[in-house]
Amino acid sequence: MRKLLYNKKGFTLVELMVVVIIVGILAAVAVPLYRSNVQRALASEGKALVGSIRTAQRVYFAEHGVYGAWADISAQIDLTGNKYFTAAPTVTGGGTAAFTASVTGTGDAASITVQIDQVGTITTTPAGL
């Protein structure tokens, strides 16, 4: 009878609690890293879109000597393939020698804004994306 008690195998409650604590710590570190990577991936669609806008603006500038408004370049840019940046961009500086264009995300990317200027400087909000 005594031999049966010593041969029982399994985990104690303390061992299980240690494992739960370790998993909790790992999750607390991993979730914020995962979220920032998701935000960065969402912002990449916006960066590609403003890059297309800059290319269209450069073509318009080569033909007209000034940068165009959104109405002037919108035919060259396809927004239908985008998932998170589907609204028409804000383009300022049409008819001048400088421009800025910004796009704001929708859905999961609603907090992300990406902006570009005529030099090609891309700025994201929140910063660091």
Express each pLDDT in 84-115 by its tens digit: 998 889 999 888 899 999 999 999 999 999 99
Express each pLDDT in 15-28 by its tens digit: 999 999 999 999 99
Residue linked to tokens 């609690």: 17
The DSSP letter of residue 84 is: S
Pick the residue with more confidence: 127 or 40?
40
Domain 2-125 in CATH 3.30.700? The answer is yes
Query: Is residue 1's pLDDT more than 60?
Result: no
pLDDT value at residue 120: 93
d(CA 61, CA 97) in angstroms, rounded, equals: 8
0.85 surpassed by pTM: no
Average the pLDDT over 53-81 and give the result: 92
Phi, psi of 9 (to 5 degrees): -115, 150
Phi, psi of 91 (to 5 degrees): -115, 120
Asked whether 18 and 84 are in contact (CB, 8 A), the reply is no
